[in-house]
């Protein structure tokens, strides 16, 4: 693997407090009503074991892993998020580090999880290679990410008629990888847009086998919000096995 490319923090240090407040314990709409159920469903098909949560943030998914019987290790580069994770889960293991250069031995985890973290990583190809390196043969890499058409959206994506009704969802420059600054409720961070082909090429180049793919529909929450997520799926879930 080549040298680590120079990274910025993508706005996370300045946004950490706002992110912690926004997530709370229940999580935002997408996590709570779109991702949680299908992600937990996949976990329940696995044999629990030592699991690395890459980009664990304030530790919410680590707490889910623990409740499902796994032995999680949370990793994140943002100290304030790790401190919040430790405060909420004093018995948990949380370490500072970057996905692009994991400080773990080869084949040291039964499973690896990346829950909405690849979009935050500039060198996502290097991060994927590192996740695979620390995964045991036969282990599972479980990934949730934004869909590439959601990251290629024009403004908020929704085009509206004269009365403000949503008419269709617009994307542009889909094939052009780029960094987008996203802002909401005091949070301002970089999300990386890449076409799906880039992600698929990076996973497949590691010799992984795709065992599950989903674009989950919402399963609750305010009906108008659910309708938006149903019309233009925001997330995808992929499960890869290391031979």
Centroid of chain to Cα 119: 7
Residue 108: predicted pLDDT? 98
Residue 5: predicted pLDDT? 37
Question: What residue has token string 């036969």?
Answer: 138
Tell me what the mean pLDDT of segment 132-155 comes to: 97
**pLDDT band (50, 70, 90) for residue 9:** confident
**pLDDT band (50, 70, 90) for residue 4:** very low
Computed over every residue of the chain, the mean pLDDT equals 95
Residue 170: predicted pLDDT? 97
Cα(7)–Cα(151) distance, integer angstroms:
20
- Selection from 98, 147, 129, 144 nearest residue 205 by Cα: 129
**What tens digit of pLDDT does each residue of 158-171 get?**
999 999 999 999 99
Percent of the chain having pLDDT more than 70?
A: 97
- Domains of the chain and any CATH numbers: 12-241 (3.40.50.150)
Whether residue 3 is predicted with pLDDT greater than 90 in this model: the reply is no
- Laid out side by side, the sheet with 50-54 consists of 93-96, 71-76, 50-54, 109-115, 135-146, 235-241, 209-214
Count CB-CB contacts under 10 A for residue 195. Answer: 17
């Amino acid at each position: 693997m080549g040298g680590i490319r120079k990274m910025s923090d993508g706005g996370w240090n300045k946004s950490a407090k706002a992110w912690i407040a926004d997530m709370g314990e229940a999580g935002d709409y997408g996590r709570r009503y779109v991702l949680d159920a299908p992600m937990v469903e996949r976990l329940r098909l696995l044999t629990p074991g030592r699991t690395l949560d890459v980009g664990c943030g304030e530790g919410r998914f680590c707490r889910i892993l623990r409740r499902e019987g796994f032995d999680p290790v949370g990793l994140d580069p943002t100290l304030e998020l790790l401190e919040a994770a430790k405060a909420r889960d004093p018995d948990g293991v949380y370490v500072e580090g970057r996905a692009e250069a994991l400080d773990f031995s080869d084949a040291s985890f039964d499973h690896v999880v990346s829950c909405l973290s690849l979009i935050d990583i500039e060198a996502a190809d290097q991060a994927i290679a590192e996740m695979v390196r620390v995964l045991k043969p036969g282990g599972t890499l479980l990934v949730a990410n934004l869909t590439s058409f959601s990251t290629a959206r024009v403004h908020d994506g929704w085009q509206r008629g004269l009365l403000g009704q949503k008419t269709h969802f617009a994307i542009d420059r889909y094939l052009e990888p780029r960094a987008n600054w996203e802002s909401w409720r005091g949070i301002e961070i970089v999300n990386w847009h890449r076409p799906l082909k880039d992600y698929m090429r990076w996973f497949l180049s590691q010799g992984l086998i795709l065992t599950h793919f989903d674009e989950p529909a919402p399963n609750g929450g305010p009906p108008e919000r659910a309708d938006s997520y149903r019309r233009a799926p925001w997330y995808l879930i992929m499960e890869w096995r290391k031979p």
